[in-house]
């Protein structure tokens, strides 16, 4: 007889691995998109739309997948989702025109919906005092973006970019099979099934009327949507700003993606110990400070001196830039965990619907921000304009959070 603790650990491990592979597929266009851009001669805006298309589907499917998970259980929903993702990913290798890549990308984007399934399935297995840590460990699957940064360029160089989706689809099928045999139906789901006491759709969606949910969604738009957007955009940024080749740019991007994914487990632990709101506040302050410096474009100016003109150049070299991006990634990784611990503190029985809705908003950040990055780059001709946008976004988060705290102190309520 398998013990409850063994089941917990097995489910958590397989949820995390499955999420990591889904995330690797979800961010695949950050690498193969660069080759597609070269082949089709795409503008920055078109490239932004291309890499963001899978993010749209992954975002919009999070709420329905979260609701399905609450009703049917995470095990069966997760397994079916992975099989569908594998099929969609394999089909991508046969696209040849821009519209075909966009259509295929929409179906591949289902990989991003895995988060809503996994977070609800993980939450169902753990007691309250371990929720932050468990969800943080699961969320470390964000490091799947680093898998793509490391593995995809090697495949591109060795056998061409079209083999990337082929290999990824095979790996996804293997993970799906292992997941099915190494996980278990959660006890709450089995109890609901036996008693026939499933929540109605109206009951699951009721909390979405509260403004607090949308505030949490804005936080997640920055910490998760911003992370996904930068993971997709940074290889292109390094190549344009610092003249790096694809392989080098992808490897350096791992300095952002890998730690940001792994640190999420610590973010969950810290949220359990000192409170999710405190953690969020520090995440925003640290991010704002780094983004302020990242936003400043490389500038040259001339000062008329006593004995002639003096030229000054202000800008970030690749090492300082990477260091600041690394800190932002760490902060966002911690913030991704603290936001969901905050959600559990208020909605422990609605993690599928509320977590799914917040996930939708965060995922939409990953969809819309790359498009905004491309538009700003095309129309301002300033490459660091994407960081200006990110700085403005975190400033809004800080303002709304501060306002809610003041309101809470005055009226003993949280917006």
What is the tally of structural domains in the chain? 1
303, 312 contact by CB (below 8 A): yes
pLDDT at 414: 45
pLDDT (tens digit per residue) in 204-257: 666 677 778 888 888 999 998 898 889 878 888 898 888 888 778 888 888 887
Q: Which one, of 382, 365, 372, 380, lies nearest residue 240 by Cα? A: 382
| Tokens found for residue 54 | 């899978």
Within-domain flag for 12? yes
Per cent of the chain over pLDDT 70 is 92
- Domain holding 324, by residue range, is 4-188+202-411
Within-domain flag for 196? no
pLDDT (tens digit per residue) in 290-329: 999 998 877 777 777 777 777 777 777 889 999 999 999 9
To the nearest whole number, what is the mean pLDDT of the chain? 83
Residue 178: C-alpha distances to residues 11, 32, 182, 270, 365 (Å): 11, 27, 6, 31, 32
| CATH code where residue 90 lies | 1.20.1250.20
The C-alpha atoms of residue 204 and residue 320 are separated, in whole angstroms, by: 46
Query: How high is the mean pLDDT in each 10-residue block of the chain (415 residues)?
Result: 82 92 88 84 81 83 84 88 94 86 90 86 80 80 79 86 91 95 80 64 67 86 89 85 83 83 80 84 93 84 74 79 93 88 78 76 83 84 87 92 75 50
* Residues 6+ away with beta carbon under 8 Å from 220: 336, 339, 358, 359, 361, 362, 365
Within-domain flag for 194? no
Within-domain flag for 83? yes
Within-domain flag for 193? no
Exposure on the CB side of residue 363, measured as CA atoms within 13 A: 28
**Residue 304, SS3?**
strand
pLDDT at 139: 78
Within-domain flag for 195? no
């Amino acid at each position: 007889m398998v013990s409850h603790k063994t089941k917990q650990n097995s489910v958590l491990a397989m949820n995390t691995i499955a999420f990591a592979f889904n995330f690797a597929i979800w961010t695949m266009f950050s690498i193969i998109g660069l080759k597609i851009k070269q082949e089709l001669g795409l503008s920055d805006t078109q490239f932004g739309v291309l890499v963001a298309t899978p993010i749209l589907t992954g975002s919009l499917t999070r709420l329905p997948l979260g609701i399905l998970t609450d009703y049917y259980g995470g095990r069966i929903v997760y397994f079916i989702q992975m099989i569908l993702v594998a099929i969609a990913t394999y089909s991508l290798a046969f696209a040849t025109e821009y519209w075909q890549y966009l259509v295929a990308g929409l179906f591949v984007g289902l990989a991003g919906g895995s988060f809503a399934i996994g977070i609800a399935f993980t939450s169902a297995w753990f007691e309250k005092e371990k929720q932050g840590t468990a969800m943080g460990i699961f969320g470390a699957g964000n490091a799947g973006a680093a898998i793509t940064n490391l593995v995809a360029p090697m495949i591109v160089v060795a056998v061409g970019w079209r083999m990337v989706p082929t290999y990824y689809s095979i790996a996804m099928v293997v993970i799906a099979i292992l997941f099915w045999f190494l996980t278990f139906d959660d006890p709450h789901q089995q109890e609901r099934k036996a008693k026939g006491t499933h929540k109605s759709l109206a009951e699951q969606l009721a909390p979405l009327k509260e403004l607090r949910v949308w505030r949490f969604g804005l936080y997640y738009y920055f910490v998760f949507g911003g992370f996904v957007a930068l993971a997709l955009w940074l290889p292109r940024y390094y190549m344009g700003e610092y003249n790096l080749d694809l392989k080098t740019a992808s490897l350096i991007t791992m300095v952002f993606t890998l730690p940001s994914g792994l640190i999420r487990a610590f973010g969950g632990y810290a949220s359990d110990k000192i409170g999710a709101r405190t953690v969020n506040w520090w995440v925003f302050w640290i991010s704002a400070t780094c983004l302020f410096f990242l936003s400043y474009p490389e500038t040259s100016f001339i000062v008329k001196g006593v004995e002639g003109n003096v030229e000054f150049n202000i800008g970030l070299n690749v090492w300082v830039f990477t260091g600041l991006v690394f800190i932002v990634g760490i902060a966002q990784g911690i913030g991704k965990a603290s936001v969901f611990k905050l959600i559990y503190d208020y909605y422990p029985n609605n993690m599928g619907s509320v977590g799914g809705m917040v996930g939708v908003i965060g995922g939409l950040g990953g969809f819309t921000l790359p498009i905004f990055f491309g538009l700003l780059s095309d129309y301002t001709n300033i490459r660091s304009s994407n960081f200006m946008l990110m700085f403005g976004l975190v400033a809004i988060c800080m303002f709304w959070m501060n306002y809610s705290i003041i309101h809470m102190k005055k009226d003993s309520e949280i917006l």
